[in-house]
Amino acid sequence: MIKISICDDEIVFCKNLEKLLLKYAQLHNVILNIKIFNSSIHFLDSYTSDTDIVFLDIQMPLQNGLAVAEELRSKDKNVILVFVTSLRQYVFKGYNYQAYQYLLKPITERRITLLLDSLLPKLKQNNDKSIYVKVKGDVHKIRLEDLTYIETQARKALLHVDSGTILVNRKLQDFEKLLSPAMFFRCQSSYIVNLSYIKDVVGYDIYLTTGGQIPVSKQKKTELLQKLALIWGGEII
């Protein structure tokens, strides 16, 4: 599934763009989740880092699209940003915010096809490195590289990611089966850690590069050190 946000104050344009995107999805057997925002403030307040593509208008009331892009980049450096506008003069300014592409209105079906054709391989690669979790009816995409560790909390799984925490109504063993053992390790009965975030292991404490600290059990410590030796290189003595 590809999650798309459209932020533009022109309601008719948003609906037309949505139709073009859904038509492409139907023809290419792609699942899209599209959200439309006619207010930049609402868009930024509601933004989640599991978004794949943002279509952002530059000329909007209250807040210029370039200012919105700057704030967006402070929240998410990885999302694919596509500027849409009727003015050519902003083309080069848009690339200061790592815009993937700049589309001039009116947007045609051919332009959307060319855009998504170029993006699908990239998005597929990103999705292969992600998991999807359901929280209160909403589906969230979590990049594995952003997942620091998971812990058991009140018979649920609390996922610690770059942007905060997500509480999921699943058991820890569900994630243990799902996640690659080359990247994640169950260091204790209540914890699964992303090996790439481990900074030090002192006694039975794991110190993370994010500043956090989690336990490792006596039974799991030797296996953990062996895995870290393979990742870090050399031999741990």
Does a structural domain hold residue 203? Answer: yes
Using the 3D structure, point to which of 127, 156, 185 is the last residue of a domain: 127
The CATH number covering residue 187 comes to 2.40.50.1020
- The answer to whether residues 167 and 228 belong to one domain is yes
**What percent of the chain is helix, strand and coil (3-state, nearest 5)?**
40, 35, 30
- The answer to whether residues 122 and 189 belong to one domain is no
Torsion 160-82-98-30 (CA) sign: positive
174-221, pLDDT tens digit by residue? 999 888 887 899 999 999 999 989 999 999 999 999 999 999 999 999
Looking at the DSSP bridge assignments, the partners of residue 17 are none
Domain holding 102, by residue range, is: 2-127
- The answer to whether residues 120 and 203 belong to one domain is no
Does residue 93 surpass a pLDDT of 70? no
- The answer to whether residues 98 and 120 belong to one domain is yes
pLDDT value, residue 53? 94
pTM (predicted TM-score): 0.60
The DSSP H or E segment spanning 7 is strand 2-7
Does a structural domain hold residue 11? Answer: yes
pLDDT value, residue 134? 87
Using the 3D structure, point to which of 106, 127, 148 is the last residue of a domain: 127
In total, how many domains does the chain have? 2
Using the 3D structure, point to which of 107, 127, 147 is the last residue of a domain: 127
- The answer to whether residues 27 and 76 belong to one domain is yes
Helices H / strands E in the chain, number of each:
7, 15
Does a structural domain hold residue 78? Answer: yes
- The answer to whether residues 122 and 151 belong to one domain is no
Does a structural domain hold residue 237? Answer: no
- The answer to whether residues 228 and 142 belong to one domain is yes
Task: Return the structure tokens found at 135.
Answer: 């929280």
If pLDDT is split at 50, 70 and 90, which confidence band does 168 have?
very high
The CATH number covering residue 70 comes to 3.40.50.2300
If pLDDT is split at 50, 70 and 90, which confidence band does 60 have?
confident
Does residue 89 surpass a pLDDT of 70? no
Mean pLDDT over each residue of the chain, to the nearest integer: 88
- The answer to whether residues 82 and 196 belong to one domain is no
pLDDT value, residue 1? 75
Least confident among 11-15, 73-77, 126-130, 200-204? 126-130
C-beta neighbour count of 58 within 10 angstroms: 22
Does a structural domain hold residue 75? Answer: yes
- The answer to whether residues 151 and 223 belong to one domain is yes
pLDDT value, residue 11? 94
- The answer to whether residues 117 and 137 belong to one domain is no
Contact 36, 18 (CB under 8 A): yes
- The answer to whether residues 106 and 147 belong to one domain is no
- The answer to whether residues 34 and 90 belong to one domain is yes
Least confident among 30-44, 99-113, 222-236? 222-236
Least confident among 44-58, 70-84, 117-131, 179-193? 117-131
Percent of the chain exceeding pLDDT 90 equals 54
Backbone phi and psi for residue 47, each to the nearest 5 degrees, phi listed first: -65, 140
If pLDDT is split at 50, 70 and 90, which confidence band does 9 have?
very high
